[in-house]
Amino acid sequence: MTRPTFHDFKKKALRDPGVREEYESLAAAYHLKKKLIGLRKKAGLTQEELAEKLNTQKSNISRLENVNSKISPKLSTIEEYAKAVGFKLELDFLPIKTLKPHNDANSADAKSRAAD
């Protein structure tokens, strides 16, 4: 694959505190939905086709993907969506960085990554 993975991008981007801040804010709401759309299209599926795989309606897929909708989906919904488009959802818990006045070269952030 020529494109950098999300992990690669993330790793690099998070080194920059400015980028990190934006990343954090986007992560929750906006990023997920764009991510889902991207995965679905990568799988070559329309909303209607995906809806059929998930035994639901295209309007519900639209609502899930729509940035304007304020819903916070259930975990299982995202998991099923991911599986239907060929991906597995993984949850990572990253320690919240308490910004110290000066931080050394090797921040312990990535090391103390708390996910499996």
8 A C-beta contact, residue 85 and residue 39: yes
Interacting residues of 115 by C-beta distance below 8 A, sequence separation 6+: 90, 91, 92, 93, 94
8 A C-beta contact, residue 86 and residue 43: yes
Query: Contact with a copy of itself (CB under 8 A): which of 55, 68, 76, 106?
Result: 76
Tell the residue number behind the tokens 């259930």, with chain if given.
74
Nearer to a copy of itself, 105 or 115 (CB): 115
Query: Contact with a copy of itself (CB under 8 A): which of 15, 24, 30, 107?
Result: 24
Tell me, by CB under 8 A, how many residues bind a copy of itself.
36
**By the rule CB under 8 A, 98 interacts with a copy of itself:** yes
Residue span binding a copy of itself (CB under 8 A) among the ranges 46-54, 56-64, 77-85, 99-107 = 77-85
Tell me the three state secondary structure of residue 16.
coil
Nearer to a copy of itself, 12 or 31 (CB): 31
Query: Contact with a copy of itself (CB under 8 A): which of 47, 52, 56, 78?
Result: 78
**By the rule CB under 8 A, 99 interacts with a copy of itself:** no
Nearer to DNA, 76 or 112 (CB): 76
Residues 58 and 64: their CA atoms lie apart, in Å, by 10
Residues 114 and 112: their CA atoms lie apart, in Å, by 6
Nearer to DNA, 35 or 97 (CB): 35
